C-alpha cells in the first residue's frame, strides 16, 4: 500500500524527528532528494537553465538548497522570489554556489526559457486559492516548455484533501517528502501532480496510522479457488437488475459477476431482461419475476445466495422499492447501485442493518443521499465520502475521476487504476456485478469494493490500450471481456 497522511500528522511527525536531529537536517534530506530527481530529468545538469519559484516558507528553502546542489554541478540557477520573504539560509547557500535571485516581476523571461522549474511557492500548509504574485508565477510555470517539478505538493493544491481553488501549478513531477499526502492521490489535486516521487526523510517511526491508502497489485487479493472448491464454496451472487426500460444494465451487471469469479450467478428480473441475460450468459441461473411480485416472494423464488447486487436498471417504482427493501432486510452482504440508490435516498432507514452494505454512487447520487450539492461533492470528494460512510453506516464507493472507498473509522482507499475511457454508460453496472462476486466469495465489504474498483479500472486500461500504447474508445462489454486479463496481472 501507499500510505498518505494529512498535514497535521505530517507536521507532528516532523517535529518529533527534528527534536532528535541537528537543526536543518530534514531540510537537507529533502533538498538532496529533490535535487536528485531533478538531475535525472535533465539530459545534462551542467549548463541546464534551472528556475526556482520560491515563497517564504520551508518549501522555498527546500527549493533553494536543491538549487544550490544543482548549481554546484554546473547548472545555471535563478531563484524567482514571490513576495518579500525568502528562506535566508537557503538563499545564502544558492548564492554561494553561484545562483542568482530575481524578484517575481523580473522572472517571466527566466521561467519561459527554463529547462527545469522547481515550484517552491507554497508548502503543504497552503489552503485556498493562490494570491498574487504566486498565482501569476504558477500560471507561467504551468505554461512553460521546461520540466515542472513541484516541491512536496503543487502550489495551489490542498495537500490534505486535493481541493484546488483557483490557480495552481501543473507539475510534470511532484517530489514529496516523508509520506504521501492525500491531495496528491485525489482529484482534482492529483491531476496537477504528474508523476509522484516519494523521498524518505526518516519519518517512518513517527507517523501514525494513515488517513488514505492506495493499493499496489500485491494488495489486491480476490478469493482463489482451492482443491476442495465447488460453485457454492466459490460464492453465489444474486443479481436483481434491469427492467423493460433498461435491459443493458441487466446484461452488463450479470457479466461483471460472471467474469468476476462468482461460483454461480443467480439473476432475476422481468421476462425480457432475463431472456437477454440467458442469451449472453447461459451459465447464469435465471428467474423470471412476474410484474409486481412482492420483494420477499421474489427472494424465495430466486433461491439461496451469499451476497446480493440490487439496483442497476431496476427502476424506482413500487415494485423496485419492494425488491430493494426485501434485499436490505436480509442478513447477507448487499451492494446497492443506480436506481437502488435513488430508492435508498428516499428511505435511508433501510440502511440500518447489521450486515455489510456497499453503496456505489457517482457524485450526483451521493449528493442526493446526503442532501448536498453535486458541485460541493465534486470539489470535496474526500470530505463527502467520509461523511457518507459515517452517516449511512455503509461502505461507500464514490465513483469518478478518482474512485474513493470509505468505511467508518478506516483509512479511505484511493483507487490508482482506471482511465477516462471508463466514463461511459454501463461501466458502473459491470463494476457492481464484479464487486458482488467478490462479496459472495467472502471478501469484506471494504476489500471487495476497493479490489473491485482496482480490477475494473485495470480492465478499462487493458481494453482501451492499443499496441502502440495509445488508448481507443471502449464499451462496457470490452471491460467485461478484459476482466480475466486484469485478474491475471495480480498473480
Domains assigned to the chain: 2-214 (3.40.50.10260), 217-488 (3.40.1190.20)
**Mean local confidence (pLDDT), 155-163:** 95
Q: What is the mean pLDDT of residues 7-26?
A: 96
pTM metric for this prediction: 0.93
The pLDDT tens digits of the residues spanning 57-74 come to: 999 999 999 999 999 999
Q: State phi, psi for 356 to the nearest 5 degrees.
A: -65, 140
Quick one: pLDDT at residue 228?
Answer: 67
In whole angstroms, give the CA distance from residue 256 to residue 484. Answer: 11
Decide if 156 contacts 204 (C-beta within 8 A): no
Tens digits of residue pLDDT in 399-444: 998 999 999 999 999 999 999 999 999 999 999 999 999 999 999 9
Residues 227-251 have pLDDT tens digits of 666 666 789 999 999 998 899 999 9
Give phi and psi for 88, each to the nearest 5.
Answer: -65, -45
- Is a pLDDT exceeding 70 seen at residue 491? no
pLDDT tens-place string over residues 346-400: 999 999 999 999 999 999 999 999 999 999 999 899 999 999 999 999 999 999 9
| Sequence ranges of the binding site for K(+) | 59, 119, 155
Bind-site residues: 58-62, 119, 123-129, 152, 155, 249, 313, 362, 399-403, 428-429
For residues 303-322, average pLDDT: 97
Lookup: cell for 180? 504521501
Q: For residue 468, what pLDDT is reported?
A: 81
Please state, rounded to an integer, the average pLDDT across all residues of the chain: 95
Each residue's pLDDT tens digit, 174-202: 999 999 999 999 999 999 999 999 999 99
Residues annotated within a binding site for (6S)-NADPHX: 58-62, 123-129, 152, 249, 313, 362, 429
Predicted local distance difference test score (pLDDT) of residue 105? 75
Q: Residue 209 and residue 387: Cα distance in Å, rounded?
A: 19
pLDDT at site 127: 81
CA distances from 219 to 31, 189, 235 (A): 31, 24, 21
472: helix, strand or coil: coil
Per-residue pLDDT, 106: 81
Q: In this structure, are strands 76-81 and 49-54 parallel, antiparallel, or unpaired? A: parallel
Residues tagged in the binding site annotation for AMP: 399-403, 428
The confidence band for 210, taking pLDDT boundaries of 50, 70 and 90, is very high
> Is residue 453 exposed (0-12), middle (13-18) or buried (19+ Cβ within 10 Å)?
buried
Strands of the sheet containing 307-310, edge to edge, are 2-4, 212-214, 412-414, 404-406, 395-398, 357-359, 334-336, 307-310, 236-240, 264-269, 285-288
Query: Would you place residue 469 in the very low, low, confident or very high pLDDT band (cuts 50, 70, 90)?
Result: confident
Which DSSP string do the residues of 346-409 spell out, in sequence order? H-GGGG--SS-EEE---HHHHHHHHT--HHHHHHTHHHHHHHHHHHHTSEEEE-SSS-EEE-TT
Overall residue count recorded for the chain in this entry: 491
The per-residue pLDDT for 103 is 83
Amino acid at each position: 500500500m501507499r500510505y498518505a497522511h494529512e498535514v497535521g500528522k505530517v507536521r507532528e511527525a516532523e517535529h518529533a524527528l527534528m527534536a532528535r536531529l541537528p537543526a536543518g537536517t530534514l531540510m537537507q534530506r529533502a533538498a538532496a532528494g529533490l535535487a536528485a530527481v531533478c538531475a535525472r530529468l535533465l539530459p545534462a545538469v551542467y549548463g541546464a537553465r534551472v528556475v526556482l519559484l520560491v515563497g517564504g516558507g520551508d518549501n522555498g528553502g527546500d527549493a533553494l538548497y536543491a538549487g544550490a546542489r544543482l548549481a554546484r554541478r554546473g547548472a545555471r540557477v535563478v531563484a524567482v522570489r514571490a513576495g518579500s520573504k525568502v528562506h535566508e539560509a537557503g538563499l545564502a547557500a544558492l548564492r554561494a554556489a553561484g545562483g542568482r535571485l530575481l524578484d517575481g516581476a523580473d522572472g517571466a523571461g527566466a521561467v519561459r526559457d527554463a529547462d527545469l522549474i522547481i515550484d517552491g511557492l507554497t508548502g503543504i500548509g497552503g489552503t485556498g486559492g493562490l494570491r498574487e504574485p504566486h498565482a501569476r508565477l504558477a500560471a507561467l510555470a504551468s505554461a512553460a516548455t521546461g520540466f515542472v517539478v513541484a516541491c512536496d505538493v503543487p502550489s495551489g493544491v490542498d495537500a490534505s484533501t486535493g481541493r484546488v481553488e483557483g490557480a495552481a501549478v501543473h507539475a510534470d513531477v511532484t517530489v514529496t517528502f516523508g509520506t504521501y499526502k492525500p491531495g496528491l492521490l485525489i482529484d482534482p489535486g492529483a491531476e496537477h501532480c504528474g508523476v509522484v516521487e516519494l523521498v524518505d526523510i526518516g519519518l517512518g517511526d513517527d507517523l501514525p496510522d494513515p488517513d488514505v491508502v492506495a493499493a499496489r497489485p500485491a494488495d489486491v487479493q480476490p478469493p482463489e479457488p482451492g482443491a476442495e472448491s465447488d460453485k457454492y464454496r466459490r460464492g453465489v451472487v444474486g443479481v436483481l437488475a434491469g427492467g423493460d426500460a433498461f435491459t443493458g444494465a441487466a446484461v452488463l451487471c450479470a457479466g461483471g459477476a460472471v467474469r468476476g469469479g462468482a461460483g454461480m450467478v443467480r439473476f432475476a428480473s422481468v421476462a425480457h431482461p432475463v431472456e437477454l441475460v440467458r442469451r449472453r450468459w447461459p451459465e447464469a441461473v435465471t428467474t423470471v419475476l412476474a410484474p409486481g411480485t412482492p420483494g420477499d416472494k421474489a427472494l424465495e423464488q430466486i433461491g439461496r445466495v451469499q451476497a446480493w447486487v440490487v439496483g442497476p436498471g431496476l427502476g424506482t417504482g413500487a415494485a423496485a422499492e419492494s425488491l430493494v427493501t426485501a434485499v436490505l432486510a436480509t442478513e447477507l452482504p448487499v451492494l446497492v447501485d443506480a436506481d437502488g440508490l435513488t430508492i435508498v435516498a428516499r428511505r435511508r432507514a433501510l440502511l440500518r442493518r447489521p450486515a455489510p452494505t456497499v453503496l456505489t454512487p457517482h457524485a450526483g447520487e451521493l449528493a442526493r443521499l446526503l442532501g448536498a450539492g453535486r458541485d460541493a461533492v465534486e470539489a470535496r470528494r474526500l470530505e463527502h465520502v467520509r461523511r457518507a460512510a459515517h452517516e449511512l453506516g455503509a461502505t461507500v464507493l464514490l465513483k469518478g475521476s478518482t474512485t474513493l472507498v470509505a468505511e467508518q473509522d478506516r483509512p479511505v482507499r484511493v483507487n490508482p487504476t482506471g482511465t477516462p475511457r471508463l466514463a461511459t454508460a454501463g461501466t458502473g453496472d459491470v463494476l457492481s456485478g464484479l464487486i458482488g462476486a467478490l462479496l459472495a466469495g467472502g471478501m469484506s465489504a471494504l476489500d471487495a469494493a476497493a479490489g473491485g474498483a482496482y480490477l475494473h479500472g485495470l480492465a478499462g486500461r487493458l481494453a482501451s490500450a492499443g499496441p502502440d500504447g495509445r488508448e481507443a474508445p471502449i464499451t462496457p462489454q470490452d471491460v467485461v471481456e478484459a476482466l480475466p486479463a486484469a485478474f491475471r496481472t495480480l498473480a
